[in-house]
Amino acid sequence: MTAITDTGCARWPRDLKVFAILTALWASALTARMLIRDLMPYATAQLDAVIFGMRFVGHPARLVLAVQAMIGFTIAIGIAAERRWGILIALAFMLEVIASDLIFMVAHMDDIAQWRDVRISGLLGVFAVLVLLYLWIRARDLVWREA
């Protein structure tokens, strides 16, 4: 008799485990970005964050970054533990990121002062679409097979 019982479920792919590690690192980077601003007495640029297409600056941005970091850690824990809800939260969060980038780009496209941020948002939006497609392809069988 072995110490580990076989539940009959197939293990999740390793690349999803790597994705969980990268998500935890991303959440750690958001937390560090938030904390480093507190340690620097003379920060040249204010802390900013975008959620649902709205830009937050200062203390509200800290709250937005804290929520995003908590969501990132939740996704990492859920995927590392091979839970279905981890993938579902990741898919929902990536949809929010794509919608947020699109709303921000449309809202600030005519503002010359925001052109740099609009371009960055466009590039991040393309990257977010690629990550969403990757998650959808890899998790499609895992999520709806168990349902």
pLDDT at position 1:
47
Cα end-to-end span (Å), the chain: 31
pLDDT at position 35:
85
Residue type for position 69: A
Q: Domain coordinates of the chain in residue numbers?
A: 14-141
pLDDT at position 42:
67
pTM, two decimal places: 0.82
Task: From first to last of the 147 residues of the chain, give the pLDDT tens digit.
Answer: 455 555 556 688 899 999 999 999 999 999 998 888 777 766 667 788 888 888 898 889 899 999 999 999 999 999 999 999 999 999 999 999 999 999 988 888 888 888 888 898 889 999 999 999 999 998 888 877 755
